[in-house]
Structure 1
Amino acid sequence: MSSRVGFRFVNNARFAFRNATGPFRRSGAQGFRFQSSEAGAAPEQSTFQRLWNSPVGVKTVHFWAPVMKWALVVAGISDMARPAEKLSLTQNVALMATGAIWTRWCFIIKPRNILLAAVNFFLGCVGAIQVGRIYLWRRSVDGSAVEAAKDLEGDLVDSAKGVAASVESTVKEVKKSA
């Protein structure tokens, strides 16, 4: 009886290779080649192949930029151990703003990059937590929330003026050299 089962298997396999509508088709002198029965169907890819060939895959900047940006999030988390008086307000406001702005843009740009949106979201969260810590520390030192807010505002205005002055001086130097 086992020989009959084997015989049926061999005959069915032979029929599949000979059948023009089967998955294996004869292609001239090249012998057999595998073709899908559906026209234009892509062969199935493994998970690694899909990740590699994806528009946001491993071989693109859309993958490596968020991976490297996680270092900023880790640095912000490690700053939780530092005292609030040693934290930079302007740096943490910049991290918070960057995280908030780019989280939104990650859903608008093509290809939509969820990994980049996630890292920017956490970057904004870490920046907001650190700004909150600085605000609470200044409020405890100054004694009132209004004074702490004014101090924060003054620091931000001073740093913005410093940046504007450095940009203006750079522009003047470029104009002189041109």
Structure 2
Amino acid sequence: MPAPSTILRAARPAFRAQSHFFTQQSQAQAFRSTRARFQQQSRRWQSTAAPAGSQSWARRLWDSPIGIKTVHFWAPIMKWCLVLAGISDFYRPAEKLSLTQNVALTCTGLIWTRWCLIIKPRNIMLASVNFFLGLVGIVQVSRIAMYNASQKKLTAGEQIEAAKDGAVESATGLKEDVVAVAKS
């Protein structure tokens, strides 16, 4: 019979291999549980109540990653105010419009239209409002450019007279507003 110390020496490599097996198995279990936890967290926007086909449109809109409870919905809704303000400026005379402001709105609309189609989740509603903002800006910039081109045909004295008349109109309007506020 071999000595007990030789038996232990012979068993050590097998014990180490078995210990390594259990370490690998526990690491695999930890990886699986971590992966399951992350998958569960990534489903937080998805509804687990019922398949998409049987849900109402209101429930799908509420649970959507670009639905009512997210900024992806409310940002385009608020940005429509810029588009409506630009459309209301169609009725203002071109000499009272700001070229730099309208160029900035045009560039913003066109750049963000492209960007809205790249980001995830893709937000078509935001892309559409930016597209219309760019269109409104293009119309306004072209109106200002046509006005400036028509002004170039005037003599310097006529341009100064036109600017003076515009300033007098603005001052008169401000004076009337101040008087109305003071009376109230």
Instruction: Give yes or no for TM over 0.5.
Output: yes
Q: Which residue of 2 aligns with 1:73?
A: 83
Q: Which residue of 1 aligns with 2:125?
A: 115
1:55-99 CA-partner distances (Å, limit 9, x unpaired): 100000000000000000000000000000000001000000000
AA of the residue aligned to 2:124: I
Does the alignment pair 1:88 with 2:98? yes
Higher helix share: 2
User: How much has 1:143 moved relative to structure 2?
Assistant: 2.5
AA of the residue aligned to 1:74: L
AA of the residue aligned to 1:142: K
1:52 to 57, 62, 70: 62
User: How much has 1:132 moved relative to structure 2?
Assistant: 0.2
Which structure 1 segments of 5+ residues have no match? 1-39, 145-178
TM-score by length of 2: 0.55
| C-alpha RMSD of matched pairs (Å) | 1.7
Structure 1 segment 83-162 matched on structure 2, within 5 A: 83-143=93-153
TM-score by length of 1: 0.57
Q: Which residue of 2 aligns with 1:28?
A: none
User: How much has 1:42 moved relative to structure 2?
Assistant: 3.5
Q: Which whole-Å CA distance do the structure 1 matches of 2:137 and 2:102 have between them?
A: 5
Residue aligned with 1:107, SS: helix
User: How much has 1:41 moved relative to structure 2?
Assistant: 9.1
Residue aligned with 1:57, SS: coil
Which structure 2 segments of 5+ residues have no match? 1-47, 155-184
Q: Which has the larger radius of gyration?
A: 2
Q: Which whole-Å CA distance do the structure 1 matches of 2:153 and 2:61 have between them?
A: 54
AA of the residue aligned to 2:100: T
Moved over 6 A (4+): none
